[in-house]
Structure 1
């Protein structure tokens, strides 16, 4: 395709993607669902499920095959910006004061779903292989299914906590803090699974692991003091600081991608090591533009993800897989989180709230699934089933919270448990609000 024609198609596709996705996100918020739900549905609609299925000629005009790599590149840029902000905002300081509760809940809500996912991968390997899992069930494949069931989406969860008036309450703080710990463990295991897959550039697994550990050590030990000395001096223009840090995030993402992992790990790591302001507060001149640009471009990621989802290709076995994996994902996450929170000392209503909140998978699940798709750990109908599971578990959060509220109101009306008073510690979730 000629350059002029490519530019024409890209501009037209960009207009369509931004308008449709952000409109769908706005409607989703009106229906008390996270923005990403509407944007993901829009991405699926612009793919084989609706647009290409109903109007194949129009789909080829709007999204010619030559445009695919460009859209994929834009989706990766959006991911780097978004995950850099997520890493920067990740604050495990909320664990302080309730460390035992948070550790107990996070371990239970990660280990039990992880174990259930691994067990399901081993027990139903033949069925999963017929849907798109690798024919040879390697350790990486087993661990990946465990990660798919154990992840919790911190940004989406934080937005739900704020919108339901749970910010600053015991279950809100415990859920957000535990979700942060769960995602740290989940990303760590996912790194291990991708190290088990094929290496790029001919590097062996031990060499890649050694390079990754060396790079991580340099980032954790040296990057933060160097960045603080260079960029947190008086007189440094905020726009210059932002530009350098964004470049730093892309450089870190390039390193992890070159090691055969994924840009997501480098972007997250760059955000984690970026210095905060005095008092460990977030720099608004960094958070606000990262959030605005990331949210603007994320629809490209949803469209690229949606173009790999083919709901129409699901046969009866695929539908059974969607229902089974969704029920398993909801059950193990809600039950493990609830029981652990109850044993840690929360009353039964707060414990149920924690369990329901931890069931939110959302965007983090989609990012992990795309990493697995690119690594060849799943494909076809299985990818579609897991994307629908991520969608269903996130949509179910609000209705399940409503059930928990009704149970609490009924118990209080009958003279049951007295609700635990909220602590004074606020939950920092400034840039997650629009998710």
Structure 2
């Protein structure tokens, strides 16, 4: 295929991806789900799950193999921008005044699902073998499967909280702040797991660890100081600021990728250390710009991730594994979050709402699964099972919240879960 023809196919594929993904996002909103869930589902559908049901010539015409590297590059660019946006929006000030409750809920909703996931991996090692993992399941794969059940998707959770009318309430604030801590713990453990996988950098482990520490220190201290000086200079318009910050995100992503890790870690760290406004809040104009650029490119990541998902190829074992994993994921998250909140003297209804919100996985789960697949920690069928679990647990959040509200409607307790944040939660 000539370069001109390759570009023509890429432009055509991009048009299909953007139209289908955003159309599915609008449909999801009409159905009471976050738009990102519709985009994620559409991206997976465009992959082998749908194209395998069509004549092979259709798939080759729409998405020829020659444009795959370009789509993959666009998907990685989307990941860098999205993770940078997530890190920049992460607001640890939410912990003020309720650190004990948040820490308790976060620890329980992180540790219990990890224990459940790791125990299930050990108990059902035969099933994992039939899903493509080696006979002796590697320790790193077991740990990764445990982490897969512990993740909560902060970006999707924020949308759910806002669209459910829970923004500014006790369960909404506790869930979002706890989810932020859970993600920090999860990404930290994931870094350790990926450091122990096959080394793509050609460096010895001590060297990689030392360089990773140096990278983190440079980003946290001198780079942050330089960015603060630049962002607060008078007369600097939004365009140059955005260009410099995105360049900073890609520099961090390049550094972690060069060390044999995924680009997501450097991008996330870059977002966390980026200076906020003087009052500690993110710059709203910058947030809008980052969200707009990231949202435009995310469908490419969904499509590239969906190329490893083939729903039609699922066996009976895979379907059974999907059901079991989904049930375990929901019960472990909702149960641990609700019990921990209850132990901190929140009322029963508020506690259940916190647990339900923490079960939202969505995009963050997909990013982690994609990194695990690239590192060889997952087989293709197991990856498909876990991606479907991420979608299912996210789709269940709204119905579970509605069910919880209906149960609450029959309760005459005057203290509702919509109490304001100032209600003395510690």
TM-score for both structures, normalised by structure 1: 0.95
Whether 1:378 aligns to 2:375 is no
Q: Which runs of 5+ in 2 are unaligned?
A: none
Choose 376-385 or 387-396, whichever is displaced more.
Answer: 376-385
Tell me the residue number matched to 1:430.
none
Kindly indicate whether the alpha-carbon contact (under 8 Å) linking 2:326 and 2:392 is maintained by their aligned counterparts in 1. yes
Query: How far, CA to CA, are the matches of 1:129 and 1:187 in structure 2?
Result: 26
Tell me the residue number matched to 1:419.
416
Question: What SS is found at the alignment partner of 2:400?
Answer: helix
Kindly indicate whether the alpha-carbon contact (under 8 Å) linking 1:33 and 1:398 is maintained by their aligned counterparts in 2. yes
Aligned pairs (5 A) from 1:76-155? 76-155=76-155
Tell me the residue number matched to 1:228.
228
Q: CA deviation at 1:347?
A: 0.1
CA deviation profile, 1:190-217 (whole Å, cap 9, x unmatched): 0011001011131122221221122112
Question: What SS is found at the alignment partner of 2:166?
Answer: coil
Kindly indicate whether the alpha-carbon contact (under 8 Å) linking 1:134 and 1:141 is maintained by their aligned counterparts in 2. no
The 3 A distance-change label for structure 1 pair 168 and 185 is same
Kindly indicate whether the alpha-carbon contact (under 8 Å) linking 1:52 and 1:58 is maintained by their aligned counterparts in 2. no
Tell me the residue number matched to 1:36.
36
The 3 A distance-change label for structure 1 pair 73 and 222 is same
Choose 163-172 or 50-59, whichever is displaced more.
Answer: 50-59
Q: CA deviation at 1:423?
A: 2.6
Whether 1:260 aligns to 2:260 is yes
Kindly indicate whether the alpha-carbon contact (under 8 Å) linking 1:335 and 1:355 is maintained by their aligned counterparts in 2. yes
Kindly indicate whether the alpha-carbon contact (under 8 Å) linking 1:361 and 1:394 is maintained by their aligned counterparts in 2. yes
Query: How far, CA to CA, are the matches of 1:357 and 1:301 in structure 2?
Result: 25
CA deviation profile, 1:244-289 (whole Å, cap 9, x unmatched): 1101100110111111110110110000010001101211231111
Question: What SS is found at the alignment partner of 2:420?
Answer: coil
Query: How far, CA to CA, are the matches of 1:133 and 1:265 in structure 2?
Result: 26
Q: CA deviation at 1:134?
A: 4.2
Tell me the residue number matched to 1:20.
20
Tell me the residue number matched to 1:298.
298
CA deviation profile, 1:270-312 (whole Å, cap 9, x unmatched): 0001000110121123111110010011000110111111011
Number of equivalenced pairs: 423
Whether 1:408 aligns to 2:405 is no
Query: How far, CA to CA, are the matches of 1:351 and 1:384 in structure 2?
Result: 32
The 3 A distance-change label for structure 1 pair 339 and 138 is same
Kindly indicate whether the alpha-carbon contact (under 8 Å) linking 1:134 and 1:378 is maintained by their aligned counterparts in 2. no
Query: How far, CA to CA, are the matches of 2:251 and 2:134 in structure 1?
Result: 32
Q: Which runs of 5+ in 1 are unaligned?
A: 427-435
Aligned pairs (5 A) from 1:256-295? 256-295=256-295
Kindly indicate whether the alpha-carbon contact (under 8 Å) linking 1:257 and 1:263 is maintained by their aligned counterparts in 2. yes
Kindly indicate whether the alpha-carbon contact (under 8 Å) linking 2:349 and 2:417 is maintained by their aligned counterparts in 1. no
- Alpha-carbon RMSD: 1.4
Query: How far, CA to CA, are the matches of 2:167 and 2:139 in structure 1?
Result: 39
Query: How far, CA to CA, are the matches of 1:357 and 1:292 in structure 2?
Result: 25
Query: How far, CA to CA, are the matches of 2:99 and 2:117 in structure 1?
Result: 27
